[in-house]
Chain A
């Protein structure tokens, strides 16, 4: 966690440089946050809270937050409390806050709302998300390069488009260097259960996987990978401490640039409701240092990252074939955002299924 904070501090310093020029900002903006988990959960919510602190340091504004707000009826009360307590802009940071955010927003038209990972907007409600799949693609490129068995493992949480997108991007990345690569998928049906995540990791490793990606929140899979001597990717925060010899890289949630941008827009009076889906180029996600891999693989990973940032490489670009052999994307065709946000198909080479709820 310390190295994460260092990395974030470094990026905050860069942002601070930008901010200094606009130091004459108004003082009366108050940014508030509603968290689903604890501000020190070591994962999703902590990443938002670190970004909140950076926002405070960068713009010198007042912020406030409520943590551990369950998704459901209570959320509305919590969001309303924020809206009533003089907040100018309220960030609600969990998918399940979508309806409550819209409801409260309708009652407080003068307050701006920003809902993370959702898809419904209103005049004073914007949505924002991060193109995590770009990081997954880079992970895939690394996995395809270093795997000796040619089999990677992917611990899924729930079969939602976000996770399916991650699996596909990982496989496409791996395929780009090793066409025979397969990704074995195990659904843990949880975001957060160290024991179950560890069990899933063990099951995958016992079945011949030699590089492991996780789409769940604890460091348990990283620990198991370290114990069994294989390589793995961290999730949401830098997990290098759980596997100093194991972690190849990690996809880091760095929301600060977005928060700073949006709060400044409120200060300047230029804020409008929009659906933002930023990626690596915007700094909303970043990669932890590339470690525990040969130099040529590291170079390839860095090159891939640079190409994604420049827009030269888009992970979901044809030719892509689906798992059942049907063609999906034609040569040169790129999947549009709408398709990706509702993605429910796996690509060729993925060894697993999307559990249907029918």
Chain B
């Protein structure tokens, strides 16, 4: 059935966006703007592919991708949090470094046969017509992406630690005055962002297209960054935005194959147009935007002694 086929493709295309964006969301909620998502993603992708290739296990590959992303993000953390370097410049540098480094690491892996992560069929539920194969016969990345979004939403808004993290992102000086370890919390948030971006990269090289090619994230890290703003820093908004973006992207390919005569450049631009439109609509609600935007986003913090 064509609708189901389209939706299956949409899920695969949206999952890495959701994963990378939810990580960045937590990072930004703690007040740190990390523009290195694209670089962390390709590092995760090469780490995951290399490990899966060496061990034969896509699950070890997934863990390696996650770890690679987290460790790589530590570099960003050290530069911006400990050395208080400019976050925007450091983030951009992280992306460029990640692209170059991953290409170097992966040089011998180009063209090697990939290992695709198998789907995990959830008994009974996957037998439900239509919904079953879509939602309950997917790979681990899909389940994880939903779980992380739900978990993040719960953590940020229902737990004390989540409140502390948001406080750090809104006013690091006040949080510091209250005796909160601002730098420590930001390190953890940055690493969470790196781990999620690494996971997103692993999805690319283990599920989406089980292979390694240089720069295989192809701009998805930047889309993830835009999604965080699109979602006005709310976890479920990231899920919605990711799927909307995926649906429009895949929809336009199908529209072309159906022979609908709309210029394909327009169709390719459509996801971005939709994103801008939604941003315009959201920005009408000033109060909502103000409440959700981390007030200390991107601002350097040097604890006074």
Contacts and interface: CB of A to CB of B under 8 A. Distances in A.
B264 A189 contact: yes
Nearest to A222: B211
A347 B209 CA distance: 32
Interface in A61-93: none
Contacts of A339: none
B4 to A, nearest CB: 9
A195 B218 contact: yes
B214 to A, nearest CB: 6
B265 interface: yes
A242 B209 CA distance: 11
A206 B110 contact: no
Nearest to A41: B214
A53 to B, nearest CB: 16
Interface stretch (A169-177, A179-187, A286-294): A179-187
A82 B259 CA distance: 47
Contact of A203 (B113, B204, B220, B254): B254
Contacts of B268: 187, 189
B110 A42 contact: yes
Interface string B235-273: 000000000000001100110111101011110100000
B2 interface: yes
Nearest to A237: B111
Interface in B18-32: none
**Most A-side CB within 10 Å, residue of B16, B116, B216, B257:** B257
Nearest to A153: B257
A342 interface: no
Interface string B50-92: 0000000000000000000000000000000000000000000
Contacts of B263: 355-357
A302 interface: no
B301 interface: no
Nearest to B250: A199
Interface stretch (B5-13, B151-159, B275-283): B5-13
B211 A194 contact: yes
Contacts of B210: 223
B215 A204 contact: no
Contacts of A229: none
30 contacts: A40-B107, A40-B110, A42-B111, A186-B253, A189-B264, A189-B268, A194-B208, A194-B211, A194-B213, A194-B216, A194-B218, A195-B204, A195-B220, A196-B218, A199-B249, A200-B253, A202-B5, A203-B250, A206-B2, A206-B9, A207-B257, A218-B211, A218-B213, A220-B211, A223-B209, A223-B211, A242-B111, A242-B113, A353-B261, A355-B263
Interface of B: 2, 5-6, 9, 13, 16, 103, 107, 110-114, 116, 204, 208-211, 213-216, 218-220, 249-250, 253-254, 256-259, 261, 263-266, 268
4 pairs of A and B residues whose beta carbons are closest in the complex: A193-B218, A194-B209, A187-B264, A1-B111
Given A184-B259, A189-B268, A199-B13, 5 more contacts: A189-B265, A194-B213, A202-B9, A203-B256, A223-B114
